[in-house]
Chain A
Amino acid sequence: MAHDHDDHDHGDHDHDSELSEMQLRVRALETVLTEKGYIDPAAIDAIIEAYETKVGPHIGARVVAKAWSNPAFKQALLEDATKAVLAMGALNRVGDHLIAVENTPRRHNMIVCTLCSCYPWEVLGLPPVWYKSAPYRSRAVSDPRGVLADFGVTLAADTEIRVWDSTAETRFIVLPMRPAGTEGFSEEKLAALVTRDSMIGTGLAKLPSEAA
């Protein structure tokens, strides 16, 4: 394992008791499934490694940077994001039903799954804890400005907010607005400004002055 954050507190007051309980419980389940011949522990390791090292928001950031740089690609992305992302090249694996939605000065998009935690894993990796949490799932559809305030984001009062509830197998990625002062930036330099949250719609792309 590349990460073993057993000491990490992520806001769950029952965390410590759940941790020890779940370590034992998952180990027991994995042992039973292995002994029954249902799973290969090497496949389990490979899945974990893929999500820790290969699949993540850097993929989505490359898609957004390309859309900012290339109007034909942007149009193709908004028409059929699955097709457009696949056409980008071998690095990108993406299945069906990916839909890109574009932020403009008049309209801000936000993605949620109120029923579970559907999320575009292939382009953003695994969802963060807050995306899967009750506060986000309950409030995003009724109080998105309040949710944005929790992220320190304030939009103009007349910006329309469009929330996409991912209630089927369609998956959404937000195409955030390109920050000012990025004229002439390479796709690589642009991708560094694209945050995960900006592709969910709970954040904005970074300004060049904010980039690390």
Chain B
Amino acid sequence: MSRTRDGGIAMLEVAHLSKAFGGLQAVSNLSFTVREGEILGLIGPNGAGKTTLFNLITGMHKPDRGRIVFRGREITGWPPYRVVQAGIARTFQIPRPFRHKTVAQNVEIALLPNAIFARTGGRRERIAQVAACCARAGLCEAIGHEPRPHDGLCDCWHTYPNALPQAGLRKLEIAKALANDPKLLLLDEPFAGLTHQEVEELSDLVRELRAEGRTLVIVDHNMRGLMKLVERVVVIHFGQKLAEGTPEEVAHNPAVQEAYLAGTLHEHEGEGEGEDEGEGEGVRR
């Protein structure tokens, strides 16, 4: 495990990563480092290559060039399930629950072992883990059940994802990710389409997860909501790194302001931002 210039421990190192789809250079010679225990904001306008970057890190796409090193091990080109086993989990921008399975079964799927002949008795443990993950991600409230006072758990075996509101689906995405007990959690636009109160709730959850010792990378296309949450920001534009630094530094960076067409980056305050992309699709079945 290597150290960053200012002494932090590098958890994830992305070096000279490139990926093209046909003639479109989605990610171009991109390098950055995620430090252990931080909350990193990854921002950029729509189409900047943020989701592609997540897909490259999690093994859904193979990079054309470059390396990805996670906790000292090169994971470039690993299949997604091995990346998950190594300790990286992600959520999708548009929640992708397994619609025909209950909320709890959705989480159970993430807990399934890949071995065909696993030892018996695994299911009992899994059931307990499912309940813990659901409760941890705040799904009890989303389902409309009060967590039981003595252990904070609730019944999530009888609700289908279709019954969850958008914020609940986001929590389900996080519960699925937590089921794999990730060291590094990648959240793809978790705040898009949420109300102010829901954003606050989710921000609290993110802080709690960090306090548990997890590292988080949050993608957003603007810094609203991220300003108070993240310690460091990497700005991506046309697949390249445009700027890096604290939220204040980045917000006052002229190049960043230009990229965002005269400062919408830090001035945009409207609620319901992001409804134009994904919100409509998020409720599709």
A and B part of one assembly: no
B residues apposed to A, CB below 8 Å: none
Q: What residues make up the interface of A, taking CB atoms closer than 8 Å to B?
A: none
